[in-house]
């Protein structure tokens, strides 16, 4: 069930991304030929009356794509067809490309806004004492017998007052047996030896702490819903910089890795919403990178056209995006094989 929720959650974010492209393209009068959810053999298809778009669902409901007429530079296009992508203004084409990542950021902001109104936001003070709210499935904490409601009072022979103390002590303990002392129903139990697992470079034992909930005012929630995704973007870009400096792809995950990541964080709505916020921002940010085959790469060519007032050579643009797509697919394949093996 957790894996199914993970697949549906990630697919929903990709559908949102492609939905952004679709809505913007239609708003500027472009003809959209196909909106496909999933891949593999088509199991359902629908074309509304007087609509050029075929909506279809593939056998495997993972990922999605939108086919905008004329967007592929290799196509032969009629210069007199007003509904083709290349025959639209540079602003219209820019909007159609940018709308996908924007839809992901908008989704993240909406989720942040809802959580902030519920009191789940990073500006709440940490709850004291360190009470366990949720124990994640297949986690070291669950294997050790920790239960919801337990109070963690010591870790590695150091006192724990709140979750910040627990994180500070546990972060560098990945793979190292560590002693934890808990209280249950007011009684201190015998020390537990737990080996934190590595979660993207930090040690974790797989618990969600009880939080102090202070619902934000609507105005503050609106502001926070804009600021927090921006902060996540800066943190993710910093992570990319570190990977380039270290020459490592350990922080990169493919579809399998994403499903694994989400599947271990579906204990409740708040937990699932937080991980979807993280992935939605990552999808928006990654697609805006100025790399060939990505939305950001297309925006670079459109920016060139906007500045020089002349279009880039179509053959050059096609070649650049084709090479970029091949390299991107190779990277995804390699990362996916590593995720499966792991």
DSSP codes of every residue in 84-108: SGGGS-HHHHHHHHHHHHHHHHHHH
> Which residue range forms the structural domain that includes residue 159?
130-209
Give me the number of domains the chain comprises.
2
Q: Are residues 17 and 104 in the same domain?
A: yes
Place of tokens 């894996």: 3
Asked if pLDDT for residue 197 goes beyond 90, the answer is: yes
The structure tokens listed for 182 are: 């808990």
Banded pLDDT at 266 (limits 50, 70, 90): low
Q: What is the DSSP string of 132-200?
A: EEEE-TT-HHHHHT--TT-EEEEETTEE--SHHHHHHHHGGGTTS-EEEEEEETTEEPPPEEE-PEEET
Q: Average pLDDT over the chain, rounded to whole?
A: 87
Residues 154-186: tens digit of each pLDDT: 999 999 999 999 999 999 999 999 999 999 999
| Mean pLDDT for the stretch of residues 328-338 | 74
Query: How wide is the angle at C-alpha 97 spanned by C-alphas 92 and 100, nearest 5°?
Result: 125
Asked if pLDDT for residue 341 goes beyond 70, the answer is: no
Any domain includes 123: no
User: Quick count: other Cβ atoms within 10 Å of Cβ 119?
Assistant: 14
| Mean pLDDT for the stretch of residues 210-224 | 90
Any domain includes 308: yes
Helix, strand, coil proportions of the chain in percent (round to 5)?
A: 50, 20, 30
Rounded CA separation 154/192 (Å): 10
Pairing label, strands 158-159, 151-155: antiparallel
Q: Are residues 112 and 136 in the same domain?
A: no
CATH number at residue 186: 2.30.42.10
Which contiguous run of DSSP H or E holds residue 54? strand 54-68
Asked if pLDDT for residue 127 goes beyond 70, the answer is: yes
Question: Which of 190, 209, 228 is at the close of a domain?
Answer: 209
Any domain includes 192: yes
Q: Are residues 15 and 106 in the same domain?
A: yes
pLDDT of residue 91: 95
Catalytically active residues, by annotation = 18
Any domain includes 43: yes
Query: How wide is the angle at C-alpha 53 spanned by C-alphas 48 and 55, nearest 5°?
Result: 75
Any domain includes 273: no
- CA neighbours closer than 13 Å in the CB half-sphere of residue 160: 28
Banded pLDDT at 255 (limits 50, 70, 90): low
CA 153 to chain CA mean position, Å: 34
Q: Are residues 105 and 180 in the same domain?
A: no
pLDDT of residue 136: 86
- Contacting residues for 303 by C-beta, under 8 A, at least 6 apart: none
More confident residue, 256 or 311: 311
């Amino acid at each position: 069930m957790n894996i199914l929720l993970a697949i549906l959650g990630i697919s929903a974010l990709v559908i949102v991304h492609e939905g952004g492209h679709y809505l913007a393209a239609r708003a500027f009068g472009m003809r959209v030929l196909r909106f496909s959810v999933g891949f593999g053999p088509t199991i359902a298809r629908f074309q509304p009356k007087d609509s050029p778009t075929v909506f279809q669902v593939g056998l495997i409901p993972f990922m999605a794509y939108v086919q905008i007429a004329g967007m592929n530079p290799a196509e032969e296009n009629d210069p007199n067809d007003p509904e083709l992508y290349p025959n639209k203004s540079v602003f219209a084409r820019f909007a159609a490309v940018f709308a996908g990542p924007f839809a992901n950021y908008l989704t993240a902001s909406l989720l942040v806004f809802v959580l902030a109104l519920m009191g789940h936001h990073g500006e709440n003070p940490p709850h004291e004492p360190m009470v366990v709210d949720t124990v994640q499935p297949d986690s070291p904490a669950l294997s050790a017998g920790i239960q919801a409601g337990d109070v963690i009072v010591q870790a590695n022979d150091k006192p724990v007052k709140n979750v910040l103390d627990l994180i500070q002590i546990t972060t560098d303990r990945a793979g190292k047996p560590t002693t934890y002392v808990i209280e249950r129903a007011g009684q201190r139990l015998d020390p537990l030896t737990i080996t934190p697992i590595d979660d993207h470079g930090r040690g974790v034992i797989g618990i969600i702490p009880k939080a102090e909930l202070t619902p934000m005012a609507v105005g503050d929630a609106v502001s926070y819903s804009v600021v927090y995704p921006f902060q996540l973007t800066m943190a993710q870009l910093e992570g990319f910089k570190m990977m380039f400096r270290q020459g490592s792809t350990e922080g990169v995950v493919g579809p399998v890795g994403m499903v694994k990541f989400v599947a271990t964080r579906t204990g409740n709505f708040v937990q699932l919403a937080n991980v979807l916020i993280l992935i939605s921002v990552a999808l928006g940010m990654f697609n805006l990178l100025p790399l060939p085959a990505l939305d950001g790469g297309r925006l670079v060519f459109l920016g060139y056209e906007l500045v020089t007032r002349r279009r880039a050579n179509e053959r050059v643009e096609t070649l650049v995006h084709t090479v970029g797509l091949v390299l991107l697919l190779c990277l995804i394949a390699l990362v996916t094989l590593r995720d499966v093996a792991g």
